[in-house]
């Protein structure tokens, strides 16, 4: 039975001739349909987590329990990448306790997002006054 599944997958991939069947915007979060706000939060959280993990790997879990003032299961979750239930505030607290100075950069990389928001705001009052 497993051989049939592998064969079917190979045939399905062969039909595409190696061409992508979707257009990518070079940003996986955009491709998955996240709003720019959600994407920014997720990117910030991921970058912060990477910095925490880099410094946390220098310590044992027992030492991290004391440094972070968290029980062993929370430390294990952190080290295993389970940060979905961790807030940015909590991650910033961890960073501070590990001696990481968190700095945020705010480059304006996508002018179209701001223009789209302005256009939507300009249309909204007109639509609200018609109701």
Quote the pLDDT of residue 112.
75
65-112 residue pLDDT tens:
999 999 999 999 999 999 888 898 999 999 999 999 887 777 766 777
Calculate helix-pair angle for 72-79, 61-68, nearest 10 degrees: 110
If one looks up domain 34-110 in CATH, what number appears? 1.10.260.40
- The whole model's pTM is what? 0.62
Q: Could you tell me the two tokens for 25?
A: 């915007």
pLDDT of amino acid 6:
45
The DSSP H or E segment spanning 91 is: helix 88-97
In angstroms, rounded to a whole number, what is the distance separating the alpha carbons of residues 100 and 48?
10
Domain locations in the chain as residue ranges: 34-110
What confidence category does residue 2 fall into, taking pLDDT thresholds of 50, 70 and 90? Answer: very low
Q: Which of 25-29, 93-97, 115-119 has the lowest mean pLDDT?
A: 25-29
Q: How many C-alpha atoms does 113 have within 13 Å on its Cβ side?
A: 9
């Amino acid at each position: 039975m497993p051989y049939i599944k592998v064969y079917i997958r190979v045939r399905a991939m062969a039909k595409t001739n190696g061409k992508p069947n979707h257009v990518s915007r070079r940003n996986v979060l955009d491709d998955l349909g996240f709003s720019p706000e959600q994407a920014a939060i997720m990117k910030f959280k991921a970058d912060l987590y990477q910095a925490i993990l880099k410094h946390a790997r220098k310590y044992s879990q027992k030492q991290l329990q004391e440094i972070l003032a968290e029980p062993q299961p929370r430390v294990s979750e952190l080290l295993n990448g389970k940060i979905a239930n961790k807030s940015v505030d909590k991650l910033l607290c961890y960073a501070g306790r590990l001696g990481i100075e968190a700095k945020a950069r705010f480059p304006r990389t996508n002018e179209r997002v701001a223009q789209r928001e302005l256009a939507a705001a300009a249309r909204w009052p007109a639509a609200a006054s018609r109701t």
